[in-house]
Structure 1
Amino acid sequence: MDAQQVHDYLLNKPEASVGQPFGEGVDVYKVKGKMFATLARGKYPAGEAVFWWLNLKCDPDEAFMLRDLFPAIRPGYHMDKRLWNTVVLDGSVPAGEIQRMIDNSFLLVVQKMPKREQTSLLLKLSAS
């Protein structure tokens, strides 16, 4: 997936919004005011090439497993490294896997919301 496809997929989530609270160049994706992803340009590895970086919330055990499976998945850049992964969009991670990780990040955030908000969002998610 390229950055535009990721952006479109993120904004297709129910009640998703995007802003730049950290300044220009870092898109922050939220659901009901809670962050579930960021998308920004970054250098990888060690400044050799510029790629888009996608930060996603993740179950801690799965986060470590994904880092072992894919060299382009690293501990979350400027995030809690236990709960967030950075996916370097260099084409090495399959699109289906990126979509699955986005879906999981969204659901992890929704599951922390009050029951009423969870139900509303999950109904919208199942209808789409």
Structure 2
Amino acid sequence: MNIEEFRDFCIQKYGVTEELPFDENTLVFKVMGKMFALVDVDLFESVNLKCDPEKAIKLREKYDAVTAGFHMNKKHWNTIEFDGSLSDQEIFHWVNHSYELVVAKLPKKYREEINQNK
């Protein structure tokens, strides 16, 4: 996977925007203004994704490429290294999980709009 494929996967989701709020290297994907993925556009070595806390622990125990979220709340975020040990499909599955977690916490109005446009 490369940065363009990752970006295309994220940006095609309903309500998603991208921005560089922290610096010129950290690309942040948001759904209705709430972050669900962060990636370094220059290095593209890893991605930070939101994750259910119990699932986050299990993934960290199972995969060496999954660690507590770098510079994020360690309970709710994982960092996934692009080291070749995980398939693109698996990473995309976790991107979907992150997106869905954020959507679930949005106001009802936004959740309904997203669900109507899936």
Query: Could you state the TM-score of these two structures normalised by the residue count of structure 2?
Result: 0.93
Q: For the residues of structure 2 that align with 1:41 and 1:85, how far apart are their CA atoms?
A: 18
What is the 5 A alignment of 1:1-128? 1-40=1-40, 52-125=45-118
Note the alpha carbon deviations across 1:3-43, whole angstroms, 9 max, x for none: 2211111111112111100011000111111111101169x
Give, as a single letter, the amino acid of the residue that structure 2 aligns with 1:4: E
Query: Could you state the TM-score of these two structures normalised by the residue count of structure 1?
Result: 0.86
Give, as a single letter, the amino acid of the residue that structure 1 aligns with 2:28: V
% identical equivalent positions: 37
User: How far has the Cα of 1:51 moved from its partner?
Assistant: 5.0
Higher strand proportion: 1
* Moved segments of 4+, more than 6 Å: none
Unmatched 5+ residue regions in structure 1?
43-49
Q: For the residues of structure 1 that align with 2:14 and 2:48, how far apart are their CA atoms?
A: 19
Partner SS for 2:45: strand
Unmatched 5+ residue regions in structure 2?
none
